[in-house]
């Protein structure tokens, strides 16, 4: 009996050891799922536009009081810009005094079905100083869609943007970084108790390309109809309430670091040049500044509403950046602007140099 008890005890010990050996302990790994947090940029900038070649008292200052970008969610983002323009001298003939505010919001809806076409919805709102709202094609004010001289200083537009860039094969020499086809509807009105307004329907094409040696190229096309409920002068004796506009922007960019003083400070050479923009209208537009009497409209036409016109520029630039912290950068930019502004036919040789100096800072959050 004693021997039987010892035998059973031995078997139990052996069985327990074998069971322990065969047991596999699997560790529990808890993965931390990254949570999204909003991010963005904010900047301020002061820019001085010097006198143009052969001109006096034409210098001005532009202050970007607030400009930035914010990524609200993984799909929702927006940008904003508030600028003020001042004449250095007490002379508003050039119309450079004024301000403008713009904000654009984007919702990334993702790919359309099984395609490589990415759809983004954009809503844009812009408010412009009354005088600047008349300069429909002023490239410095980004008012290509502004009204034809009847002072519609508020704009709200919607645009679905279809990006086809992934259908383009990257090569050794060129990479397509944007190829967006975007129809749009816009509505403009006056910031006061008037009935003046305009409806705009059109389509835009935005394209961007990267080339070797730090060159990039931007080529954009715009085509839109404008229906206004207030007539505008299309000659010294007649008016119209609708126009058709085609515009093109073709800009070459270059940016290259040429010297690094230390880990935080660098000197860069940049260039920007091309058409910004070239514009064609189906009719001449004569600016009457609200005066229903068309006498003298021909004289006011020089503000830039001919059936075709362009702004052609070449801007070499030196830039010094000081990266104070990982998220805070300050910079100084010195430019030489060689440009032909608001040209119409015989004005095509009116090229002028003028200096520009910019100081600013930018932070990331």
Among 335, 332, 327, 320, which Cα is nearest to 365's?
Answer: 327
The yes-or-no verdict on residue 28 having pLDDT over 80 is no
Please check whether residue 22 lies inside any domain of the structure: no
The yes-or-no verdict on residue 290 having pLDDT over 80 is no
Please check whether residue 67 lies inside any domain of the structure: no
Q: What's the domain range around 313?
A: 98-364
Confidence class for position 67, pLDDT limits 50, 70, 90: very high
Please check whether residue 232 lies inside any domain of the structure: yes
Instruction: Give the residue-averaged pLDDT of 48-64.
Output: 89
Please check whether residue 66 lies inside any domain of the structure: no
Contacts of 74 (CB under 8 A, 6+ apart): 36, 108
Please check whether residue 174 lies inside any domain of the structure: yes
Please check whether residue 11 lies inside any domain of the structure: no
What's the pLDDT score for residue 40?
Answer: 97
Please check whether residue 245 lies inside any domain of the structure: yes
Q: Tell me the percentage of the chain whose pLDDT exceeds 70.
A: 73
- What are the tens digits of pLDDT across the range 177-201? 999 999 999 998 887 767 888 899 9
Which residue would you say has higher pLDDT here, 1 or 163?
Answer: 163
Which residue would you say has higher pLDDT here, 200 or 20?
Answer: 200
What's the pLDDT score for residue 156?
Answer: 92
Most confident of 16-30, 62-76, 82-96, 120-134: 62-76
The yes-or-no verdict on residue 157 having pLDDT over 70 is yes
Q: Following CA atoms 69, 72, 75, 77 in sequence, which dihedral angle do they give, to the nearest 10 degrees?
A: -30
The yes-or-no verdict on residue 287 having pLDDT over 80 is no
- What are the tens digits of pLDDT across the range 239-285? 788 888 888 999 999 999 999 999 999 999 999 999 988 888 887 76
Q: HSE-up of 318 (CA within 13 Å, CB side)?
A: 5
Q: How many domains is the chain built from?
A: 1
Please check whether residue 134 lies inside any domain of the structure: yes
The pTM (predicted TM-score) of the whole model is: 0.82
For residue 286, give the DSSP letter. B
């Amino acid at each position: 009996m004693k021997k039987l008890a010892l035998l059973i005890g031995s078997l139990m010990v052996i069985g327990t050891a074998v069971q322990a050996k065969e047991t596999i302990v699997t560790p529990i790994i808890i993965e931390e799922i990254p949570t999204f947090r909003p991010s963005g940029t904010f900047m301020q900038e002061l820019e001085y536009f010097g006198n143009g070649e052969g001109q006096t008292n034409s210098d001005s200052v532009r202050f970007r009081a607030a400009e930035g970008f914010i990524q609200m969610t993984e799909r929702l983002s927006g940008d904003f810009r508030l600028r003020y323009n001042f004449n250095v001298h007490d002379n508003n003939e050039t119309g450079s005094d004024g301000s403008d505010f713009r904000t654009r919001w984007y919702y990334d809806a993702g790919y359309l079905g099984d395609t490589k076409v990415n759809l983004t919805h954009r809503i844009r709102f812009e408010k412009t100083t009354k005088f600047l709202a008349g300069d429909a094609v002023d490239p410095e004010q980004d008012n290509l869609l502004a009204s034809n001289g009847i002072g519609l200083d508020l704009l709200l537009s919607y645009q679905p943007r279809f990006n086809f860039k992934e259908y383009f094969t990257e090569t050794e020499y060129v990479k397509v970084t944007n190829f967006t086809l975007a129809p749009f509807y816009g509505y403009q009105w006056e910031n006061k108790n008037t009935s003046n307004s305009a409806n705009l329907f059109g389509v835009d094409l935005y394209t961007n390309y990267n080339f070797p040696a730090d060159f990039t190229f931007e080529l954009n096309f715009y085509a839109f109809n404008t229906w206004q409920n207030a007539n505008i002068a299309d000659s010294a004796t007649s008016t119209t309430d609708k126009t058709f506009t085609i515009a093109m922007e073709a800009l070459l960019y270059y940016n290259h670091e040429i010297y690094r003083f230390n880990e935080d400070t660098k000197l860069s050479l940049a260039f920007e040049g091309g058409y910004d923009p070239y514009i064609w209208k189906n009719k001449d537009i004569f600016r009457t500044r609200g005066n229903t009497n068309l006498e003298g409209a021909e004289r006011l036409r020089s503000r830039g509403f001919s059936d075709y016109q362009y702004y052609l520029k070449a801007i070499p630039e030196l830039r010094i950046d000081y990266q104070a912290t990982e998220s805070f950068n300050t910079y100084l930019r010195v430019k030489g602007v060689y440009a032909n502004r608001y040209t119409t036919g015989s004005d095509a040789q009116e090229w002028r140099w003028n200096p520009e100096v910019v100081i600013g800072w930018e932070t990331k959050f």
